Structure 1
């Protein structure tokens, strides 16, 4: 409990304390109460960043979980040749640090020095620039999907391994095919695991930081300082020296994340009942 209070509760309390003050060029630091929170709610850059991660969440998370579900079902089917190697191969990207993954994909995306550029030169093509302002969010989604499909696959596969084998035997005796077994036995057994994976993915989407911050060094015109709420808070603090407002942005985003995660959990529990 002491460690929990030191590394979790104390930083939150200090952030709340910072959010109640504002540092001015004239007059120094002064208590402003909820003014910083009202400023965040009226900040177009914050809402632009929030809308971007919300779009990222709505599009990327279902695709990632669907792919993880397909992989988990394929491995659990027992009909996949070399399933152990396949399982490790899919999970391996999760072991790659996010910074390394972003750098690796960022250089592959390059139209002048990377894989996209080499393909254009070799085949005389003109492929779209993955790091252009219109495509950079989709490119980040590809990186995150590559990183976390294996992690979510492991959650779903672990849930499938605890299903009673007698259920499969009974279904086979009744003449149920593989699709029927998946629909009637495996998917209901995965409901809780899918809920957990969805909540983790929602939290991860709202915390998106590593990939935009790394890609900004490669494509500075495509990634703004308010590309995501977390990156906006970081830029305010370390580039703009606005520590109080940065803490406020972080707290508001944390509250939004908790509310969304709670609503998803509540909806999932009602479906389970």
Structure 2
């Protein structure tokens, strides 16, 4: 007599049970806040009379009015231009140094390679606010040891927190903190390249410089695309550095970057609906730029593979 095998209770629902905690966290702390921000961006507060008393303020449908105001706001547009100039300095310098350090560490007969990797990566472990405060005091002429040395040598002391040098000061903080992470990503890809590839190149008479330019860099192209993608997102979302340096200089306004404009409108002037619309615009701009860059990179890879 045979008996039918009974399936263990709950086997079919086990995958959903494992996914449930992640789904709840994703919905609670990611999807719902985004949806609420989008909902706020299509509303505004309507004030009746002097705005005093019960029912004097009500939330009404605004349509695309908040988006129209944001896209025609000169402060938001000026902040976007400043971030564009900031990114033109940060992204190429940071990725160039990360690639250079990765190639140097991957070279043969490198001394103290583990210590060097740690020294380059360590600034990334420093919180952004702490790094901005550290460099901010190094920039101040009254407390900076660099200004003291320049004064003793009779050399001019540039004010890095005013005018054009401010871009260099802010970019230096980002480069100092982000180069190590990008270097680790590129260096990991270099270590994954089979040693036989380099040995074959050496047998063909290739120099170390030729190996780096013609073999190593093309082999880590995907890592370069990834780090460039992350750098674009971080640049568009710059907030910590200018906000932290703002008390130290009058050159940084409350709307220096788009995210600072969002913060001021939400918590300074109390216009949370306008701030929500600006945040949605920044998110969409980041999505469009990132998607466009990834699509262009994928198209280029397909053309190279077909060729």
TM-score, normalised by the number of residues in structure 1: 0.96
Where structure 1 has 5 or more consecutive residues not aligned to the other structure, the ranges are none
Q: Cα deviation per residue 1:111-142 (whole Å; 9 max; x = unaligned)?
A: 12223432343223332100113221220100
Assess if the C-alpha contact under 8 Å between 1:233 and 1:246 holds in 2. Answer: yes
Task: Say which of 36, 47, 56 aligns to 1:14.
Answer: 36
Q: Which protein shows a greater Rg?
A: 2
Correspondence list, 1:66-215, <5 A: 66-215=96-245
Cα deviation, residue 239, structure 1? 1.0
Secondary structure class of the residue paired with 2:31: helix
Secondary structure class of the residue paired with 2:100: helix
In 2, Cα distance between the equivalents of 1:17 and 1:116? 50
Assess if the C-alpha contact under 8 Å between 1:208 and 1:228 holds in 2. Answer: yes
Cα deviation, residue 158, structure 1? 0.6
Cα deviation, residue 41, structure 1? 0.9
Where structure 2 has 5 or more consecutive residues not aligned to the other structure, the ranges are 1-22, 49-55, 303-307
In 2, Cα distance between the equivalents of 1:116 and 1:35? 50
Q: Cα deviation per residue 1:9-54 (whole Å; 9 max; x = unaligned)?
A: 1110010011111124436222101100011111110000111111
In 1, Cα distance between the equivalents of 2:164 and 2:86? 13
Task: Say which of 258, 283, 286 aligns to 1:257.
Answer: 286
In 2, Cα distance between the equivalents of 1:180 and 1:124? 44
Cα deviation, residue 5, structure 1? 1.3
Cα deviation, residue 83, structure 1? 1.2
Cα deviation, residue 97, structure 1? 0.5
1:63 corresponding residue in structure 2: 93
TM-score, normalised by the number of residues in structure 2: 0.86
Secondary structure class of the residue paired with 2:284: helix
Secondary structure class of the residue paired with 1:12: helix
- After the TM superposition, which segments of 4 or more aligned residues of structure 1 sit over 6 Å from their partners? none
Q: Cα deviation per residue 1:144-194 (whole Å; 9 max; x = unaligned)?
A: 000011000000001111101111111111111112211222111111000
In 1, Cα distance between the equivalents of 2:262 and 2:167? 19
Assess if the C-alpha contact under 8 Å between 1:133 and 1:223 holds in 2. Answer: no
Assess if the C-alpha contact under 8 Å between 2:135 and 2:173 holds in 1. Answer: yes
Assess if the C-alpha contact under 8 Å between 2:136 and 2:248 holds in 1. Answer: yes
Q: Cα deviation per residue 1:58-86 (whole Å; 9 max; x = unaligned)?
A: 22101110000000000001232211111
Give the count of matched residue pairs.
272
Secondary structure class of the residue paired with 1:212: helix
Assess if the C-alpha contact under 8 Å between 2:151 and 2:157 holds in 1. Answer: no
